[in-house]
Chain A
Amino acid sequence: MINRRSWFKKSAAAIASVPLVNATFAATPSAPLDSTKVLGTPPKEVGTRSGFEKLERLVYAREASSASATPLELLNGIITPSDLHFERHHGGIPTIDPDRYALLIHGLVDRPLKFSLTELKRFPAESRICFIECSGNGGRAVLGRGAPVAEEVTAGQVDGLFSTSEWTGVRLSTLFDAVGVKRKAKWFLAEGQDSAVMSRTIPVEKGFDDAMIVYAQNGEPLRPGQGYPVRLLLPGWEGNAQIKWLRRIDVSDTPFFSREETSKYTDAKTDGRIEMFSFVMAPKSIITSPTFPTVLPGKGWNEIRGLAWTGHGKIAKVEVSTDGGNRWRHAALQAPVLSKGTVRFRIPWQWDGKPALFMSRATDELGNVQLMPGVFADNRGPATFYHNSAIRAWKVDASGRVTFGQNELA
């Protein structure tokens, strides 16, 4: 019997059955004994990864309303290769003809206008490196649901509904000026052109602050799974609100209370109340290496590596504990530390060969700190799994085997 939380349940089942290395990959190429003695292959129009590297997203369920997660544990730096950017769509990926595309802005405006893709590209452009995190990211790491969380899971399985790209487009404020947003406007509906006609209401002030209408990702046109030809970018805010395949903006004085901001993506509290419009993603970090399925080769030196981000601005520091949360050390942050971007942190660790629980804790420039799961869950009812930014732990046993250690924090 599968209930309305079927998506997460099924994903959990799918995860359990998905082999980490998928058989759909071409066979590993054979390399000559001495590559300096064999003439190499000529250049091609489109490059591919080395046949020795198996990088793929983890697909939750092969259905229209499903998701695929970024394999965080296999990546370096902060930019997610576009073909590995996570996806979550509610009605599948639409096919949209760029020549027939238009963005309509209407409602509380002086001049309702339609913009073609060509016109959007002619506006002053801007690029920005931003993370996008699904509101439901880490839902699988929520403790206290009766059963322990799975331990043989990768960092991508835990928090891979999170990716980082350089996005290019036009500031929404520029378009708001073009249509003349009226003074009493407070909210705008952003609506997609997918079969779910996904819609969310966003405060107009975000539109005037740093929201963008983007058409490019890491230099190339948006991938279909990321909203081709145009998506809304809301730096630092929950992924669901950053409507893909954007076709309409309806400027208004009150929210529309769409299904995605009421029935979904809201947080039920222990006092029985339900919080809406929690847009900003809290500071968060996750160690990506060493993590499952790594087996440490023996005691000695390791570099602990991970990712940290916050929707409030810049990450101020990341601390790492390798003794179950007693002692914390500052990790080095890789420059540049970008506002509403992602930062890579690293710290050396001498493993003494004994079982250990290690974890990271992010603090942002406003002083917001990533909380221990217990504290984090304090005011959250059991039916809530969105916006789970609690500290993530990994554990290593005496044999060097690393697994997800979240249950130890229960």
Chain B
Amino acid sequence: MKRAALLLLLIASGITFAAERFGLGTPASADDIARWDIDIKPDGAGLPPGQGAVSEGVGLYDQLCLACHGENGQDGQYDQLAGAPVPEEFATTFVKRTIGNYWPYASTLFDYVRRSMPQTQPGSLTDDEVYALVAYLLYLNGIVDADAIMNSESLPRVEMPAQSRFYWSDEVAHLR
């Protein structure tokens, strides 16, 4: 409240703090931005070209992920990725959280696997490999069929079982 009032006062008296007066910062080129801009949104914005099928994901998973996440995404040393009960049981029982019962958007899966996994070689997967792994993980969770192919068209259309359960806290409800 105080800050807002102060700002109005300064503007009213003709004094503005045009930030450019600091003259700091270098213009970022399209290349600069492209090099780091890896985020992806639920509507598919940011998804790269390429594609991958469930059948390709199986082999990749077994080779690159199974050691940490277990066979079929279950009972591995780290995060459970599949094979937990449906979201219905989730409110009342202590069930494992998985992609199938706790992830609202498939875009997040692509975004996360591409930026962070496999944990010991982060950022090493090609976009096609990420698409294939996402397809396989969705298949393991019973969300897509065995013949599914993931790409920038099909991925945003995937409906995640838990999506309708997620809501925005009161803190940010006005930003909807």
Contacts and interface: CB of A to CB of B under 8 A. Distances in A.
A114 B28 CA distance: 6
B116 A91 contact: yes
Contacts of A180: 19
B116 A196 contact: yes
Interface string A61-92: 00011000000000000000000000000110
Interface string A244-260: 00011010001011110
B94 A196 contact: no
Nearest to A208: B3
A257 B104 contact: yes
Contact of A262 (B90, B108, B171): B108
A274 B167 contact: yes
B65 to A, nearest CB: 14
B157 interface: no
A150 interface: no
Nearest to A174: B19
Contacts of B42: 257
A382 B91 CA distance: 7
Contacts of B5: none
B166 A262 contact: yes
Contacts of B97: 4-5, 263, 383
Interface in B71-122: 75-81, 87-88, 90-99, 102-105, 107-108, 111-112, 115-116, 119, 122
B175 A250 contact: no
Find the residue from B20, B24, B88, B98 having the highest chain A CB count within 10 A. Answer: B24
B125 interface: no
Contact of B39 (A2, A191, A271): A191
A58 to B, nearest CB: 21
Interface in A1-18: 1-6
A186 interface: yes
A364 to B, nearest CB: 15
A276 B166 contact: yes
A334 interface: no
B25 interface: yes
B108 to A, nearest CB: 5
Given A3-B80, A4-B78, A203-B175, A276 B167 contact: yes
A197 B111 CA distance: 10
A278 B171 CA distance: 7
B24 A257 contact: no
A258 B123 contact: no
Contact of B25 (A64, A178, A248): A178
A119 interface: yes
A187 B94 CA distance: 33
A270 B92 contact: yes
Nearest to A176: B19
Contact of A257 (B77, B81, B108): B108
B14 interface: no
Nearest to B113: A259
A49 interface: no
B171 A280 contact: yes
Interface string B148-176: 00000000000000100111110110010
A106 B28 contact: yes
A277 B169 contact: yes
Nearest to B104: A262
Interface string A310-342: 000000000000000000000000000000000
B119 A262 contact: no
Given A114-B26, A195-B116, A382-B94, A2 B169 contact: no
Contacts of B17: 177
A275 B102 CA distance: 12
B36 A248 contact: yes
Given A197-B116, A262-B103, A272-B165, A248 B37 contact: yes
A178 B20 contact: yes
Contacts of A4: 78-81, 96-98
Contacts of B32: 104, 112, 114
B25 A1 contact: no
B67 interface: no
A1 B80 CA distance: 11
Given A6-B78, A197-B38, A382 B27 contact: no
Contacts of B22: 122-123, 174, 178
A268 interface: yes
Closest 7 CB pairs of A and B: A177-B19, A4-B80, A113-B25, A272-B91, A197-B115, A4-B79, A112-B28
Interface of B: 3, 17-20, 22, 24-28, 32-33, 36-42, 75-81, 87-88, 90-99, 102-105, 107-108, 111-112, 115-116, 119, 122-123, 162, 165-169, 171-172, 175
7 contacts: A112-B33, A115-B25, A119-B24, A145-B94, A199-B115, A247-B36, A276-B169
